[in-house]
């Protein structure tokens, strides 16, 4: 992670974007409707995300047990699939393009900490998943990463650098392993 490209905040200066009452309401909404493994009502989830300020396209599928930190910092395109146990820890903005798949257990982490400071200050950076991206099961996307059009982050991999368009990445840290060929 290139810290020069990330926003740094001391622990008192970071602002999540909404007041504490709205964050409290969202916490319980998230717990009851998103993290709940028994809730399969997709329409309810997309409605609630929009109610809390997320931009959500059509044909979005959000599976059970998904954890979303702040919906007002989330933009989801059309025909996106978000699998079970996905964690979108969006202290900063997360933008998800059209036809994106985020597989089971994947994590989008927009925040970290400055371990060189005693105060362990918060460091945040936006994540962008462009159209056609596939984030494999149990993979992690670091802050300030762009997964470019139709890139793939393989199962259990960690994206610490931007992913190029139409390439497949795998490993920790993820490395480019092959070109992605799409057949019509």
pLDDT at 105: 98
- For 53-71, write each residue's pLDDT tens digit: 999 999 999 999 999 999 9
pLDDT at 11: 67
pLDDT at 28: 97
pLDDT at 1: 47
Instruction: Compute the distance between CA of residue 120 and CA of residue 114 in angstroms, rounded to an integer.
Output: 5
Q: How far apart are the first and last CA of the chain?
A: 36
Domains of the chain by residue range: 3-11+18-179
CATH class of the domain defined by 3-11+18-179:
mainly beta
Residues of the chain with pLDDT under 70: 1-5, 10-11
pLDDT at 143: 96
In the numeric block, the tokens 């480019």 are attached to: 176
- Do residues 62 and 82 touch, judged by C-beta distance below 8 A? yes
pLDDT above 90 coverage of the chain, percent: 83
pLDDT above 70 coverage of the chain, percent: 96
């Amino acid at each position: 992670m290139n810290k020069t490209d990330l926003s740094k905040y001391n622990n008192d200066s970071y602002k999540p974007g909404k007041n504490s009452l709205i964050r409290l309401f969202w916490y319980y909404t998230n717990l009851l409707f998103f993290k709940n493994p028994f809730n399969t009502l997709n329409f309810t989830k997309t409605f609630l995300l929009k109610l809390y300020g997320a931009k959500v396209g059509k044909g979005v599928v959000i599976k059970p047990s998904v954890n979303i930190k702040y919906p007002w910092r989330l933009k989801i395109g059309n025909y996106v699939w978000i699998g079970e146990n996905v964690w979108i820890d969006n202290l900063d903005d997360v933008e998800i393009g059209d036809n994106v798949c985020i597989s089971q257990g994947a994590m989008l982490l927009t925040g970290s900490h400055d371990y060189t400071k005693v105060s362990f200050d918060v460091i945040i950076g936006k994540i962008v998943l462009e159209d056609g991206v596939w984030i494999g099961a149990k993979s992690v996307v670091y802050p300030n990463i762009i997964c470019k059009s139709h890139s793939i982050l393989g199962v259990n991999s960690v994206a610490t650098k931007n992913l190029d368009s139409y390439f497949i990445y795998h490993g920790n840290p993820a490395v480019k392993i092959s070109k992605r060929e799409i057949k019509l």
